[in-house]
């Protein structure tokens, strides 16, 4: 049922030991995928994203969530903002990873990020911004549709902002566990 074996060290494999043999324990794919789906994680087959189990919130957003519309990209107000003015720069095409986006989608994402920066600076007057992409479940991506977070930052919003995206507003980051 379960597979366990020893494998010779391979420097090309992440988490492989520096030398010697590596013990590998594998769950059968159906059991692992069932466990991960019950835990709310996308399955391996869903990455790259082709069809989500539930409707994608970025593919057909409500009109009041849209800040800017481009040909291939939209800027949306985040429905779980960690600060006033938090927006998402999202390709219209359902694509899971930044690395699967076309060159023109990436270019328009950056162009619209500039436009959003101008609008948010006028409307909210932040002191700085954090920009970030969570690419893949291991990186914290909870919606399997590429999106660039633009999070306005304000002087005093955290006692010590050093480290930026490493520690961005930890008390507000776990939106999924709040009622």
The catalytic residue positions are: 147
Cα–Cα distance measured from residue 134 to residue 161, given in angstroms and rounded to the nearest whole number: 20
Residue 113 tokens read as 């990020």
C-alpha span between 112 and 92 (Å, rounded)? 13
Separation of alpha carbons 112 and 107, rounded Å: 9
What is the Cα–Cα distance from 65 to 73, expressed in whole angstroms? 14
* CA distances in angstroms from 158 to 68, 147, 153, 171, 172, listed in the order given: 29, 24, 9, 10, 11
* CA pair distance 48, 97, nearest whole angstrom: 7
Asked if 152 and 85 touch (Cβ cutoff 8 Å), the reply is yes
């Amino acid at each position: 049922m379960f597979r366990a074996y020893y494998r010779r060290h391979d420097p090309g494999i992440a988490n492989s030991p520096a030398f010697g043999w590596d013990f590998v324990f594998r769950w059968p794919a159906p059991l692992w995928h069932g466990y991960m789906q019950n835990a709310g994680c996308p399955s391996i087959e869903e990455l790259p994203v082709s069809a989500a189990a539930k409707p994608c919130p970025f593919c057909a957003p409500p009109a009041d969530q849209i800040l800017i519309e481009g040909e291939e990209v939209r800027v949306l107000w985040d429905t779980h903002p960690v600060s006033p003015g938090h927006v998402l720069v999202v390709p219209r095409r359902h694509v899971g990873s930044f690395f699967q986006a076309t060159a023109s989608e990436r270019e328009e994402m950056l162009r619209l990020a500039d436009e959003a920066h101008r609008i948010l600076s006028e409307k909210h007057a932040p002191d700085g911004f954090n920009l970030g992409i969570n690419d893949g479940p291991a990186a914290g991506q909870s919606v399997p549709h590429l999106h660039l977070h633009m999070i306005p930052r304000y002087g005093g919003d955290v006692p010590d902002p050093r480290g930026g995206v490493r520690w961005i507003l930890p008390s507000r980051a776990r939106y999924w566990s709040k009622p």
